[in-house]
Structure 1
Amino acid sequence: MLSINGDQEEFWGKSEMGGRWLTFEDQLDHLFSPVLDLLLDRAALTRGMRVVDIGCGTGASALTVAQQIGPEGHVLGVDISEQFLERARRRADQANLNNVKFRYADAQVAALSTGDCDALISRFGVMFFSDPVAAFANMARALKPGGQITFAAWGALSENPWFKTPHLAAVKQLGQPPKVDRNAPGPLAFHDRDRVSDLMSRAGLADIKVKAIPLTLAAPSSAKEAATLCTRVGPAARVIAHFEGEQGDVDAIINAVADEFEAYRTPEGVRVPAVINLLQARAS
């Protein structure tokens, strides 16, 4: 596979941290279900469409799209993690979906299609490219003229307690890790809406819209379960790994986060407020 994002390939495909997304797959799919609902509502996909899902992970978004567009349509799920794709293929087989395929590829450089796709979608799969302009331009080549991109990315750290609360708890417990460029590849790389709009414009896209959409994440039922999940994946997990935190540190961080998350407990479970940046544009 041609790839120039080898560090991301290593992280998501081979590291313990990437593997945790398989361990917590069901909880993460549930957590992000409101994001997927938002994404597909705005993408306005219809039966018979040809769709590419960028950074498809273990397949939740691609499988939902495959059901939505029907057997006359087709979905190609693309990801840089083979372990995620193996799981996605098993899920498609179990669901008897024959209109979805998965491909191991780096979407920044791979030839994804021959310009015959109607839409590109992504739920949190586009924030990790070393050259976002090149990636947007390359992905757009898969689209028919006028074909639509609809991507969901995280807003700023300050707008998303799912990231901010565990990060602050981990820093308080273990210390501040080395500072990194806030725009560097990572989950929060597209927090700056003006910057993302400029990147898409430089990639040659048209009708660009980048909107901040508030919603609530469907976290596990208890504050302790929610705290455990967001501490095992995401920024807090990276702080713990950097300082080689011990189990006592992890427990202290989880307890601190759980105390904060009690404010988000509802009769339906923990509902954590979030801001999602919705990116939309068309191929010119």
Structure 2
Amino acid sequence: MSRGLGERIVAQNKNFDITAAAAADYQNKAVPAMFEPLARATMAKIDLPEGGHVIDIACGTGVAARIIAEHLPGTGHIVGTDISEAMVAVAMRSEPSHSRHRFTWFASDVVDMPCDGETFDIAFVQQGLQFFPDKPAALAEIARVLKPGGVFYVTCWAEISPFNGSIADALEAAGEADAAGKARAPFSFRDGDMIATLLGEAGFAVERRDTVELFRRFGNPKDQVMSLPAGKDIVALGETRAETVFWDIERRLSPYLSDEGYAVPQKAHLFGARRL
């Protein structure tokens, strides 16, 4: 699989600003509240080939890879890669201990993955495409590592989540327009027609266009916000202003609160595209 791991990969990622603490926070808060439910809802709509060779790109702390392992029939090989070494370190520690599948993890930029060409049957990107600075280059690299006829599954948010929207609106009300824009950034690439066109231009035939719906469930809004980059922006405002913003976020989220906690709806695009 590898074209040579080592110092080159470290050099690509040394400036990516995710600390070990932030990666652990993401795993403990954002994953159970949102990214695991999204992965489960996605996999419920997909059939995987027996003994498949699968790569999870922008894998974060590996939640989609772990859910893939539950659904992949036979004995397969699952590879997880992310630009953040801290995220990959958590993914490695969280690998299922008794899985019948083989796992491989590495840190790499999506535009230059250390994999041989035509290696994988399936490629996944869960909520990562919107963050790739050079999307055509990233898609070209994904096509390179897929076997001819291999399938690429990608999810992107279809609309701004009321959760992030509440964060952004509270920041704007506090006069922090730049931080508000960052809070909405994960939802900036949500035009389904544009995504389909981009996939076609990269040499994929879009065979499936679907919607995945889920609820982000949590108990404490502040804990959830602090698992996101927006949390750092809010804390930087100083204790008094930060508490005002946190209070405003909680107020805006109150329609989604019940006796069981918060349940905030989110909707995502799901595309299945075959490499030509």
Q: Normalising by structure 2, what TM-score?
A: 0.84
Match status 1:10 vs 2:15: yes
What's the offset of the Cα at 1:259? 1.8
Deviations 1:200-228 (A, max 9, x none): 111111125444443322x213xxx0x21
User: Which residue is equivalent to 2:112?
Assistant: 109
Q: What is the identity percentage for the equivalent residue pairs of Structure 1 and Structure 2?
A: 23
Match among 75, 82, 90 for residue 78 of structure 2: 75
* Distance (whole Å) between structure 2 residues aligned to residue 179 and residue 232 of structure 1: 15
User: Which residue is equivalent to 1:59?
Assistant: 62
User: Which residue is equivalent to 2:3?
Assistant: none
* Distance (whole Å) between structure 2 residues aligned to residue 2 and residue 180 of structure 1: 33
* Distance (whole Å) between structure 1 residues aligned to residue 183 and residue 229 of structure 2: 12
Unaligned stretches of 5+ in structure 2?
1-6
Q: 1:201 to 1:190 in 2, by over 3 A?
A: same
User: Which residue is equivalent to 1:231?
Assistant: 225
What's the offset of the Cα at 1:199? 1.2
Corresponding residue SS for 1:141 = helix
Deviations 1:58-96 (A, max 9, x none): 11121222233256101000111111111111122x624
* Distance (whole Å) between structure 1 residues aligned to residue 182 and residue 233 of structure 2: 16
Decide whether the 8 Å contact of 1:39 with 1:150 is kept in 2.
no
Deviations 1:130-153 (A, max 9, x none): 211111121022222221111112
Corresponding residue SS for 2:177 = coil
Corresponding residue SS for 2:18 = helix
* Distance (whole Å) between structure 2 residues aligned to residue 122 and residue 260 of structure 1: 31
Decide whether the 8 Å contact of 1:166 with 1:235 is kept in 2.
no
Question: What is the letter of the counterpart of residue 27 of structure 1?
Answer: K
* Distance (whole Å) between structure 2 residues aligned to residue 156 and residue 256 of structure 1: 22
Decide whether the 8 Å contact of 1:54 with 1:126 is kept in 2.
no
Match status 1:151 vs 2:150: no
What's the offset of the Cα at 1:255? 1.4
Q: Map 1:145-224; keep pairs closer than 5 Å.
A: 145-157=148-160, 160-177=161-178, 186-217=185-216, 219-221=217-219
Decide whether the 8 Å contact of 2:206 with 2:271 is kept in 1.
no
* Distance (whole Å) between structure 2 residues aligned to residue 140 and residue 41 of structure 1: 24
User: Which residue is equivalent to 1:20?
Assistant: 22
Question: What is the letter of the counterpart of residue 261 of structure 2?
Answer: G
Q: 1:64 to 1:270 in 2, by over 3 A?
A: same
User: Which residue is equivalent to 1:278?
Assistant: 270
Decide whether the 8 Å contact of 1:46 with 1:68 is kept in 2.
no
Question: What is the letter of the counterpart of residue 262 of structure 2?
Answer: V
Q: 1:263 to 1:180 in 2, by over 3 A?
A: closer
